[in-house]
Amino acid sequence: MAADKSVDERLYLDPAGAAGLSWQDRAACAGTDTETWFSAGAPRADLAVMCAACPVVDDCREYAIERPWIAGMWGGTTAPLRREVRRRRANGEPDGLEDVVPRCRNGHVLDEANAYQRSDGGVRCRRCTRDRWHARKKRIKSKENL
């Protein structure tokens, strides 16, 4: 059975054309390796953190939710989570996206105010960074007093 190329084009082209996808140029992940976002296995926490600090996370998430054929992580959500959101919305239930809040390993919410992207592409929690800095200063000061 031959593949129908029109189906492939339908999957990835927005009806509004390229102008409808201009938000992608402002995304925090713009220019990163796409394999990272479409890898198999468990979703990586650092990707969700990058999404949380992204200025177009809502546009990205809704773009993927509206298109069931899209795989990978979009707007901090995975394909199974987006399926659940679509199911809930179809049943008139709350979509549960308010529960999708990326957190650092210490449990701090990673939003635009508390997350920053390093020059090497990593995402860090401002509160944890500040806490580590204060703990280090305290250790240095206690060593000086010995």
* Residue pLDDT, tens place only, 113-134: 887 777 766 677 889 999 999 9
pLDDT-above-70 percentage for the chain: 75
Whether 99 has a pLDDT exceeding 80, the answer reads no
Q: Helix, strand or coil for residue 135?
A: helix
pTM of the model: 0.58
Q: What residue spans define the domains of the chain?
A: 26-144
Q: What is the pLDDT of residues 2-58, one digit of tens each?
A: 444 434 444 455 555 445 678 888 888 888 887 778 766 555 666 777 787 788 888
Nearest by Cα to 97 from 116, 113, 78, 115 = 78
pLDDT at residue 93 is higher than 80:
yes
CB of 60 closer than 8 Å to CB of 23: yes
CB 96 within 8 A of CB 76: no
